Amino acid sequence: MRIFVLGNINSGKSYLIKNISKILPNYDILKIDDYRINHCDGTLESELKMWHDFPNEIMKYENAIIELSGGGRVSDNIVKLLDNNSFIVLKLNTDVKTCILRNKNKDFSLIPYPKEFNEPIEETIKRIGKDMDNKSIEKVWSKALNIIEVFNDSNLFDLPLIQYHLLFKLKSSLSDYKGSLFTFGSTGRGMMKNTSDVDTYFLTDVPKELLFDNLKNQFNEVRLMADEFIIRENEVLLEINYINDINKASLFYNRSLIANPLKTILKDDYNIVNNLINFSNQQFDKLKEINYTIERLNYYVESLPVLIKKNDEYKYFFHNNIVVHEYVKLTAFLNEVFDFSYLPIQAKKYLTDDEWNKIIYSFGDDQNIHYKIVREMSDIIIKKVKDKYDKE
């Protein structure tokens, strides 16, 4: 993976990179000013040559952290050499006044800038600051899989650097196999955190066994469960859903609320772009989801007295957990929350402690009393949801 650290002069890019290296210690570090010191002599000719040579130097490294301001011709030349979605950008936002203040304690005499570049350093900082503010950086670096804004007080250990490292490592591992690799969930939305799983689909006709053997050679811990590859590395979970039919990805891709399907594609041998755009544009049918959830809730609540008669306490426990899940979903719907409806985020907040204590079944509880409580709670939530949405 290539990580580009962009920011103003004196914004703290070197300090940021030093901390990134603690997370990704095996990454090479390339700094444009270091390259100037080693390859330029202060002439305009050597500077113009550097604008082309530095981008080519970057392409020699598969895993690297690259530092530069992010604007100008050299950035254009770098981006031209890169494939879409083949890198990420960390955009360091530091106040212009802070950058100018730090300039008093920094010696630029060792960096051979051409004499033709006679703009005062403070004016250069102000100009770069305007570029940062007017989103021109986002335009220049639009091929990035994600542009993440970072501030001086940001905790780098909160960033999903390991997640992105694994994602690009997966892409590299599958490069020799015909297929389409794309993301969904928080990965597809570009909203991963350091606690996020990495969710992917791989559409291919390559036998699972062949892929499994290859992945085992690339990653430390790989398991295959039915049609899902499970990879755990550095306490991060990477999931690869193996599919032969693109339509199998439709539901979860749609419910992932993908804003830009183009930013979910890492490898596309089957030209699935239009499929993913169609999946993301499918309208969510709230009433259909509500009715289906009510049906499931009723079905599993109605199964409980039968299980009491059968004296099957474990199955009672298991079915009641499904009851809890459907009940929580309806409570979320009642609060007009339909995002990620298959598994509401932070779902515990939808019930009070008293409701949780009543609806949860623990082994040894009186099942008849528990069933009556669950039946009553379910009837109440179903009525509330129907009263709210039947008019629609």
Q: Same domain, yes or no, for 244 and 316?
A: no
Is the pLDDT reported for residue 152 higher than 90?
Answer: no
Give the mean pLDDT of the chain: 94
Measured between alpha carbons, how far is 257 from 67 in angstroms, rounded to an integer? 33
Strand partners, 242: 202
Same domain (yes/no): 40, 122: yes
Count Cβ atoms within 10 A of the Cβ of residue 48 and give its class: 0-12 exposed, 13-18 middle, 19 or more buried.
middle
Do 273 and 171 lie in one domain? The reply is yes
The per-residue pLDDT for 133 is 81
Answer with the one of 124, 158, 192 that is the final residue of a domain. 158
In terms of domains, do 196 and 341 share one?
A: no
pLDDT of residue 109: 76
- 115 and 226 assigned to the same domain: no
- Give me the number of domains the chain comprises: 3
Give me the amino acid identity at 123.
E
pTM of the model: 0.87
The domain boundary, picked from 129, 158, 187, lies at 158
Contact by Cβ (8 Å): 203, 270: yes
Which pLDDT does position 233 carry in this prediction? 92
Token duo for residue 192: 């991963």
Can you give the CATH number for the domain in which 78 is found? Answer: 3.40.50.300
pLDDT of residue 110: 80
| DSSP 8-state secondary structure symbol assigned to residue 365 | S
pLDDT, tens digit, for every residue of 254-266? 989 899 999 999 9
Q: How many helices (H) and strands (E) does the chain have?
A: 16, 11
Query: Is residue 93 domain-shared with residue 45, that is, in the same domain?
Result: yes
Task: Looking at the structure, tell me whether residues 100 and 145 fall in a common domain.
Answer: yes
Total residues belonging to the chain: 392
Asked which of 107, 136, 158 is the last residue of a domain, the reply is 158
Q: Which domain holds residue 321?
A: 286-389
Claim to verify: residue 119 and residue 147 sit in the same structural domain: yes
Q: Are residues 129 and 196 in the same domain?
A: no
Instruction: Write the CA distances from 336 to 132, 161, 286, 330, integer angstroms.
Output: 37, 34, 10, 9
pLDDT surpassing 80 at residue 192: yes
Query: Can you read off the two tokens belonging to residue 91?
Result: 């955009």
DSSP string of 127-141, one letter each residue: HHHHHHHTTHHHHHT
pLDDT tens track for 12-48: 999 999 999 999 999 999 999 999 999 999 999 999 9
Residues 56 and 104 grouped into a single domain: yes
> Do 196 and 275 belong together in one domain?
yes
Regarding whether 196 and 85 lie in a shared domain, the answer is: no
CATH code: domain of residue 252:
3.30.460.10
Segment 187-199 shows an average pLDDT of 95
- pLDDT tens sequence across 215-251: 999 999 999 999 999 999 989 999 999 999 999 999 8
> Per residue in 325-372, pLDDT tens?
999 999 999 999 988 777 888 899 999 999 999 999 999 999 999 999
| Amino acid 391: pLDDT | 65
Sheet holding 64-68, edge to edge: 28-31, 64-68, 2-7, 87-93, 146-151
The per-residue pLDDT for 156 is 80
Residue 392: band (very low, low, confident or very high) from pLDDT cuts 50, 70, 90? low
